């Protein structure tokens, strides 16, 4: 049994849904902690006014009783409060009455860098909205809700996961880009402390923890590069400079450096896990790029829609959630446990067997 996450939901549809299966029974979830992560995702310098009209809140539909998981699939829901402005345009069922509100005109001018053209070609769409509504990063709210649950699970085995945006001139870059009606990207880092050696495996490529974390991060919109530890920098170093020497003192084995980012051969090695993701500049531009109208074949300017100037700090929260979920999944595979007490007991017995004392 492993943890699985399925999300559903369009950007301006009625709601986002996250279904998490494989959670041990008996895990206490704190609604305020999930809402706090949803709030963090909506914050950050450079977000659009949408984040001010909506305050995301989680609702639980299944798998939870009195704040405790039942071991059955957990279904979480986050409503799109903005849906009321799109009730006709994004009605799941054929809408009744005259077209009204947002989304009633078809989108025919694809934005370079977004899902618009590839989605329209792939599915033969007359209205690009059918592609962009799901491709939009709005559903990362569901990922963040599931990530908050994963963080609660791994906290039971003393793992803490934290994401942050790198670079201290972010606000200045956002201000300049916004003034020029442009967008920016950036780099985020996620660190996980307390991970025992032994999560993931070199036995098969899809079991490698580095591969799984990279896929989890690449699975987030706008992420175009992933590094584990010193990452690309390692390519420029000699072996003697790159690898982390192994030492021993009275508390056990340790490293003085962590250029491997806590993973060797696809397996956690007990050091802090350090991963970074590079985000491209957001594709919706207030001064749009050149495009072609898919209906008329004529040149035109790409779609302009309310949009963020930057979402790097939001990505840090989403990346934290994605990494936490993948670590929780790897831990669930290693330690089993359909009941939380068994999961924690297996973890503690393993830690004793390898005689590992976290520093
Ligand atoms: C948290 C977050 C917020 C985003 N907000 C926007 C946005 O407001 N406008 C936009 O054009 N793209 C935004 N994006 C990026 C697009 O969703 C993404 O570029 C698009 O779906 C195409 O996918 P790709 O960049 O992975 O190729 C955001 C991405 C993330 C992770």
For each successive 10 residues of the chain (359 residues), what is the average pLDDT? 96 98 98 98 86 86 98 98 96 96 97 98 97 96 98 98 94 94 97 98 97 98 98 98 97 96 98 98 96 98 92 98 98 97 98 92
d(CA 199, CA 76): 27
Atom 27 of ligand 1: nearest residue by CA position: 222
Angle made by CA atoms 254, 260, 263, in degrees to the nearest 5: 80
58 CA → ligand 1 middle, Å = 22
- Please state the atom number of ligand 1 nearest to the C-alpha of residue 115: 22
* Residue 110, pLDDT score: 98
* Residue 88, pLDDT score: 97
- Please state the atom number of ligand 1 nearest to the C-alpha of residue 223: 26
Atom 11 of ligand 1: nearest residue by CA position: 284
- Please state the atom number of ligand 1 nearest to the C-alpha of residue 137: 17
* Residue 359, pLDDT score: 80
- Please state the atom number of ligand 1 nearest to the C-alpha of residue 220: 31
| Burial annotation 34-73 (CB, 10 A radius, 16+ → b, else e) | bbebbbbbbebbbbeebbeebebebebeebbeeeebebeb
- Please state the atom number of ligand 1 nearest to the C-alpha of residue 308: 8
Atom 4 of ligand 1: nearest residue by CA position: 137
d(CA 267, CA 49): 42
* Residue 49, pLDDT score: 73
Name residues contacting ligand 1 (CB within 6 A).
48, 113-115, 135-137, 140, 220-222, 280, 282-284, 307-308, 311, 314-315, 318
> Which residues fall within 8 angstroms of residue 241, CB to CB, at 6 or more apart?
none
90 CA → ligand 1 middle, Å = 20
Atom 24 of ligand 1: nearest residue by CA position: 222
318 CA → ligand 1 middle, Å = 12
């Amino acid at each position: 049994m492993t943890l699985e996450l399925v999300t559903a939901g369009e950007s301006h549809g009625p709601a986002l849904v996250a279904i998490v299966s494989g959670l041990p029974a008996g895990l206490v979830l704190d609604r305020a902690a999930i809402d706090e992560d949803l709030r963090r995702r909506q914050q950050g310098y450079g977000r659009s006014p949408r984040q001010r009209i909506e305050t995301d809140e989680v609702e639980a539909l299944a798998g939870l009783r009195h704040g405790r998981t039942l071991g059955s699939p957990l279904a979480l829901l986050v409503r799109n409060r903005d849906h009321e402005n799109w009730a006709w345009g994004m009605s799941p069922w054929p809408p009744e009455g005259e077209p009204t509100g947002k989304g009633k005109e078809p989108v025919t001018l694809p934005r370079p860098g977004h899902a618009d053209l590839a989605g329209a070609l792939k599915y033969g769409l007359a209205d690009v909205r059918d592609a962009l509504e799901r491709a939009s990063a709005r559903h990362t709210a569901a990922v963040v809700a599931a990530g908050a649950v994963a963080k609660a699970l791994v906290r039971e085995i003393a793992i803490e996961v934290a994401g942050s945006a790198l670079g201290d001139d972010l606000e200045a870059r956002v201000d300049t880009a916004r003034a020029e009606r442009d967008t920016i990207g950036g780099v985020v880092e996620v660190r996980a402390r307390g991970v025992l050696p032994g999560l993931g495996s070199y036995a098969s490529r899809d079991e490698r923890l580095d591969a799984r974390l990279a896929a989890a991060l690449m699975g987030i919109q706008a992420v175009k590069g992933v590094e584990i530890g010193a990452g690309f920098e390692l390519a420029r170093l000699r072996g003697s400079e790159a690898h982390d020497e192994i030492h021993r003192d009275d508390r056990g084995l340790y490293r003085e450096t962590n250029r491997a980012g806590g993973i060797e051969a696809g397996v956690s090695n007990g050091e802090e896990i350090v991963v970074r993701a590079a985000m491209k500049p957001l594709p919706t531009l207030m001064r749009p790029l050149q495009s072609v109208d898919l209906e008329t074949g004529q040149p035109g300017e790409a779609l302009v829609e309310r949009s963020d100037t930057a979402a790097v700090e939001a990505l840090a929260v989403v990346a934290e959630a994605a990494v936490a979920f993948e670590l929780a999944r790897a831990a669930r595979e290693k330690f089993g446990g359909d009941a939380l007490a068994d999961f924690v007991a297996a973890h503690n017995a393993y830690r004793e067997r390898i005689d590992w004392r976290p520093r």
